[in-house]
Amino acid sequence: MLRFWKERFKTGIVTENPEIDKELEEIKKNLKDKVKKLFAGSLAIRMVDSGSCNACEAECNALSNPYYDLERLGIHFVASPRHADILLVSGVMTANMYHHVWDAYNQVPSPKWVITLGDCAKDLGVFEKTYAIKGVDLPVDYHIPGCPPTPKDIMQGLIEFLKKIEINKEK
């Protein structure tokens, strides 16, 4: 374990690394402020995969690695739709997932928002319509494009989404 502590002190906190790019630093600050203002510092997201290739999920998992560490900004990926503010949907929405995704949507307490993630969730991306694909027909509030969107894209997308609901709130 001593070896580990040595390594740990040598590494420091990756998110506070000065070498990390300024752009990401800006995004993080923005995101944290918005979450604090609109969701009292705690935003819960339930991610549902409705038939993606797993790249979108991998990128969402990457959001909790030491470089991005989304939890620190007050954003949590939660285990149940009943704990969620936002339903984050990726993939083409297959016929076999159709009712399950709608089930999850219905379980999210109001007020709720739906964000689609990745090109598949909108216009199927490179895939074509087959009998096994239904396509996303949820009431979508915001779309984050990309195939897959990088963790930075997802964070930027969340900021844009929060900006959008901020404007709606003021109206």
Partner 1 sequence: MRLIARFAQENENNFEIIDVFDIEIKKTKIDKNNPVTSTLTNKYPAAIWMERKIRDEFGINFEGCVDTRPLVKHERFPKNIYPMRKNFQKIDIEFGEFEPYEYEEVKGEGVFYVPVGPIHAGIIEPGHFQFSQAGEDMLHLEVRHFYKYRSIEKMCENKKPLEIKKIIERISGNESIAYQIAFFNILAKSAGIELNESFKNKSAILLEMERIIHHLTDLGFIPNDAGFAPALAFMSRLSEDARRTLAKVTGHRFGFGAINEEMKYDFSEIFKFINYLEEKINFFENWIIDIPSLWDRFDTTGGLSHEKAQRYGVVGVAARSSGVAIDTRNNQWYKNRGFEIQVRQKGEVSDRFLLRIAEIKNSIQIIRNCKTDSNEKIEFKEFNDGEFHSFVESSIGELFMYIKLKDGVIDRFYVRDPSHINWQAFHTAIYKDIIADFPLINKSFDLSYAGNDL
**Residue 43 · residue 35 · CB < 8 Å:** yes
Q: Residue 29 or 79: which CB sits closer to partner 1?
A: 79
CA-to-CA dists, residue 24 to 30, 115, 148, angstroms: 10, 21, 18
Query: Residue 9 Cβ, how far from partner 1 at the closest point, in Å?
Result: 14
CB of 79 to partner 1, least distance (A): 4
CB of 158 to partner 1, least distance (A): 15
> Nearer Cβ to partner 1, position 104 or 144?
104
3-state secondary structure 42-76: CEEEEEEECCCCCHHHHHHHHCCCCCCCHHHHCEE
- DSSP E strand boundaries for the chain: 43-49, 75-77, 86-90, 113-117, 142-144
Minimum separation from the CB atom of position 59 to partner 1 (A) = 8
Q: From the CB of 127, what's the least distance to partner 1, in Å?
A: 6
Cβ-based nearer residue to partner 1, 13 or 40 = 13
146 vs 163 by CB, closer to partner 1:
146
Please, which residue, 13 or 167, has the CB nearer to partner 1?
A: 13
Name beta bridge partners: 116: 89, 143
Residues lying near partner 1 in the complex (CB under 8 A) are found at 1, 3-4, 7, 14, 47-62, 64-67, 77, 79-80, 91-92, 94-100, 104, 125-133, 147-148, 150
Whether 66 and 110 have beta carbons less than 8 Å apart is answered as: no
Tokens of 89: 């949907």
